[in-house]
Chain A
């Protein structure tokens, strides 16, 4: 398969994830486990021979969910719930809520009270990731999830299945990392919007298929001799939660910019750290959660996010950062001003955008991106 065909597969998955997973379920007769956050042990699900599906909310219009969550809930939570209420998620066998923000925490309750045809599991992760007690607790939470999943799916998860699942997800992480590096070095080889769909596709497609596709894609894009980039490109970094707006990349690229790295749930935070070798698979998964790029809904020291962002900025020679936040998102909203200040100190300009999941980037937002790029372009060209 060539790179275009592979990318098309990811595009299809991202365009209609539910159709994709329904077919997969029919074909493989595997149970499907829905989940809502990158702090989720996909490995345990895979080891149970089930299929993990990250939900992003596909419903653009929220009608039914309005009767359960106020309009000041983030569009992600509201539209995920709309999907559930409108029956689009009836193929789920298990719905799992890893603890993240206040909104998701309440959504879990509301879901449990209203959606009756799935097994409902909560993963009560610690919020604090920096204490010994939290580390031990995290392991216990994962063990509990494993047990509850075994019960729900009437199966047993062996140590070797878990190790196999860890190798598989690590393959995905490592291949995504390679793709990101290719893009960082030569942005013209894969568009930002496609890379966004590729990452999202990894949370939708059968994971071993995804790993194979990714590896082939990385090989092809990495080896083919592309003509060198024609013009100096402004190198941008996208920071925020889940990016469901591939169109933002097109706007940026039309203005001669390119997102060459990100700090997103649908990006860096999904793949940045592999599961290490550990004394036991479950402890190793826990180790990764404690180490990986931190999300604002978790605590790993007061300066960690700022430091991580600064490191990415200098490592990938970033000219400007775009904060892409979902409206009403508290964790990201609270982090933004200090992150912006950190960037300012380093002389890196940034732009703040608020978007809603399920809705295309609107006119004013497009104009702001264009203006930001124009300002960046007026600055000294890159050498």
Chain B
């Protein structure tokens, strides 16, 4: 398809180039932070970024970088560098790719800017703790750990006290590293913006309740980058408002991302970054749209726990209760809610060798979904970045078998 034709097609969205530009500028700024007199913090994707924004620190996300590495298909090479250093192929490929990239350079943007500090929040996994320890040893920069006790069944009183105290520790850490006072006024503004961004992001995802869905999970994976990296800034608000407008227009005009949308599915787990196009085409060719996913909604799932007038006071709890930090049964509940909300015909689970906290428990969630909703469930074995752990032929066979089951319903 020529560029002109593509611009006229249903798949084209004006937001996309806008978003690319924002991300390009953001990474440029991060890369030249030193010349701009700014400090850079590496932070985990589920980490509390708002205090960094308030402090004028540029946050950089190795996981977002990992996603770019996955999309650009440079993951295997970088993982191999890490494996050469002794890191097992069974470890998370985001971590392996990042470790490989910091050792040997490379990747789509030639590596991340060196960190001045590391902020690790273990609300997504224990992997990030190990990964950030490794990078702290390598770069010899201060490491802050925001330790969020797991919420198997309840968020305990003592856990609340613990995370609240860490918010104060975090502020003190930033004050020490930056040698300046933490701007609490600014924090209020950033906190409010962050909450607004989460609400906007939820609205963006909600547009997919429309039939046909104006965006698919594949688009959500793309537009997600901003809520992850720049939440709390004005840029994010402006962008998501623009995106939301565009999506609403699509809904009004009945434009679906999959033109022939006949089946609607819910995606679980991280994307398979190295096969995004292949997967979206494979499903679209079978008149199926992945209209929603559990992954991108994780960045707005706890908005109800945040008091926007007391961001610091409520952020500990909100960050502790995120999707990956709750019990399997609670996850299943959320999956069921999404199944109903987006009126899907089936569930597609990515059993992701990299991400054990996301993947272990999927079999039980599958059982719960089958029992409570009687929906077909497809499990695709892969890895988000490491393309060696994926076979198109096998995936295609499974997708076909799944489609057959869906068709019979």
Binding site for B on A (CB under 8 A): 67-70, 72-73, 99, 101-103, 105-110, 112-114, 122, 124-128, 131, 133-134, 136-137, 140-141, 144, 296-297, 299, 302-303, 327-328, 330-331, 333-338, 340, 352, 354
In the bound assembly, the distance between CA atoms of A340 and B88 in angstroms comes to 13
Task: Judge whether A302 and B90 touch: CB under 8 Å.
Answer: no
In the bound assembly, the distance between CA atoms of A303 and B327 in angstroms comes to 32
Task: Judge whether B86 and A340 touch: CB under 8 Å.
Answer: yes
Specify which of A72, A105, A144, A334 lies most central, judged by the most chain B CB atoms within 10 Å of its CB. A334
In this assembly, does B4 line the interface, its C-beta being within 8 Å of a C-beta of chain A?
no
Known A133-B165, A328-B90; further 12 A-B contacts with Cβ < 8 A: A69-B363, A102-B127, A103-B360, A105-B126, A109-B327, A122-B153, A140-B161, A144-B158, A331-B130, A334-B130, A334-B131, A334-B134
Q: Nearest-CB distance from B184 to chain A (Å)? A: 20
In the bound assembly, the distance between CA atoms of A296 and B137 in angstroms comes to 15
Task: Judge whether B143 and A302 touch: CB under 8 Å.
Answer: yes
Task: Judge whether B90 and A331 touch: CB under 8 Å.
Answer: no
Task: Judge whether A124 and B126 touch: CB under 8 Å.
Answer: no
Task: Judge whether B126 and A126 touch: CB under 8 Å.
Answer: no
Task: Judge whether B329 and A113 touch: CB under 8 Å.
Answer: yes
Task: Judge whether A330 and B329 touch: CB under 8 Å.
Answer: no
Residue of B nearest to A69 (CB): B360
In this assembly, does B87 line the interface, its C-beta being within 8 Å of a C-beta of chain A?
yes
The total of chain B residues at the interface (CB under 8 A) is 47
Q: Nearest-CB distance from A380 to chain B (Å)? A: 27
A-B contact pairs, 21 of them (CB 8 A): A72-B353, A101-B126, A102-B126, A102-B360, A105-B152, A106-B356, A110-B360, A112-B152, A122-B150, A124-B159, A133-B162, A144-B158, A299-B129, A302-B143, A330-B92, A330-B130, A333-B88, A334-B130, A338-B134, A340-B86, A354-B88
Task: Judge whether A105 and B169 touch: CB under 8 Å.
Answer: no
Contacts of A340 in B (CB 8 A): 86
Q: Nearest-CB distance from A274 to chain B (Å)? A: 26
Task: Judge whether B125 and A131 touch: CB under 8 Å.
Answer: no
Task: Judge whether A102 and B143 touch: CB under 8 Å.
Answer: no
Q: Nearest-CB distance from A70 to chain B (Å)? A: 6
Residue of B nearest to A132 (CB): B165
Task: Judge whether A327 and B90 touch: CB under 8 Å.
Answer: yes
Contacts of A296 in B (CB 8 A): 130
Residue of A nearest to B95 (CB): A334
Residue of A nearest to B383 (CB): A72
Please name the 4 residue pairs, one residue from A and one from B, whose CB atoms are nearest each other, closest first: A334-B130, A337-B86, A140-B158, A106-B360
In the bound assembly, the distance between CA atoms of A113 and B367 in angstroms comes to 11
In this assembly, does B11 line the interface, its C-beta being within 8 Å of a C-beta of chain A?
no
Residue of B nearest to A128 (CB): B147
Q: Nearest-CB distance from B125 to chain A (Å)? A: 5
In the bound assembly, the distance between CA atoms of A327 and B89 in angstroms comes to 10
Q: Given A127-B145, A296-B130, is A73 in contact with B91 using a C-beta cutoff of 8 Å?
A: no
Contacts of A70 in B (CB 8 A): 351, 353, 359-360, 362-363
Specify which of A68, A102, A110, A327 lies most central, judged by the most chain B CB atoms within 10 Å of its CB. A102
In the bound assembly, the distance between CA atoms of A102 and B131 in angstroms comes to 14
In the bound assembly, the distance between CA atoms of A340 and B143 in angstroms comes to 22
Q: Nearest-CB distance from B344 to chain A (Å)? A: 23
In the bound assembly, the distance between CA atoms of A107 and B87 in angstroms comes to 24
Task: Judge whether B147 and A126 touch: CB under 8 Å.
Answer: yes
Contacts of A354 in B (CB 8 A): 88
Which chain B residues (331-370) contact chain A, with CB distance < 8 Å? 351, 353, 356-357, 359-364
Interface string of B272-308 (1 = CB under 8 A from A): 0000000000000000000000000000000000000
In this assembly, does B189 line the interface, its C-beta being within 8 Å of a C-beta of chain A?
no
Residue of B nearest to A139 (CB): B158
Contacts of B153 in A (CB 8 A): 112, 122
Contacts of A114 in B (CB 8 A): 364
Contacts of B150 in A (CB 8 A): 99, 105, 122, 124
Q: Nearest-CB distance from B402 to chain A (Å)? A: 18
In the bound assembly, the distance between CA atoms of A255 and B209 in angstroms comes to 67
Contacts of B133 in A (CB 8 A): 299, 302, 334
Contacts of A102 in B (CB 8 A): 125-127, 356-357, 360
CB-contact partner of A105 in B131, B156, B351, B357, under 8 A: B357
Task: Judge whether A124 and B131 touch: CB under 8 Å.
Answer: no
Task: Judge whether B359 and A297 touch: CB under 8 Å.
Answer: no
Residue of A nearest to B368 (CB): A113
Residue of A nearest to B143 (CB): A302
Task: Judge whether A72 and B156 touch: CB under 8 Å.
Answer: no
Task: Judge whether B351 and A333 touch: CB under 8 Å.
Answer: no
CB-contact partner of A338 in B137, B357, B360, B362, under 8 A: B137
Contacts of A68 in B (CB 8 A): 363-364
Contacts of B363 in A (CB 8 A): 67-70
Task: Judge whether A137 and B126 touch: CB under 8 Å.
Answer: no
Task: Judge whether B126 and A330 touch: CB under 8 Å.
Answer: yes
Residue of B nearest to A124 (CB): B149
In the bound assembly, the distance between CA atoms of A331 and B363 in angstroms comes to 24
Task: Judge whether A128 and B145 touch: CB under 8 Å.
Answer: yes
In this assembly, does B328 line the interface, its C-beta being within 8 Å of a C-beta of chain A?
yes
Task: Judge whether B137 and A113 touch: CB under 8 Å.
Answer: no
Task: Judge whether A333 and B91 touch: CB under 8 Å.
Answer: yes
Q: Nearest-CB distance from A116 to chain B (Å)? A: 13
CB-contact partner of A352 in B86, B137, B359, under 8 A: B86
Residue of B nearest to A305 (CB): B133
Contacts of A141 in B (CB 8 A): 158
In this assembly, does B395 line the interface, its C-beta being within 8 Å of a C-beta of chain A?
no
In the bound assembly, the distance between CA atoms of A337 and B81 in angstroms comes to 12
Contacts of A127 in B (CB 8 A): 122, 126, 129, 145, 147
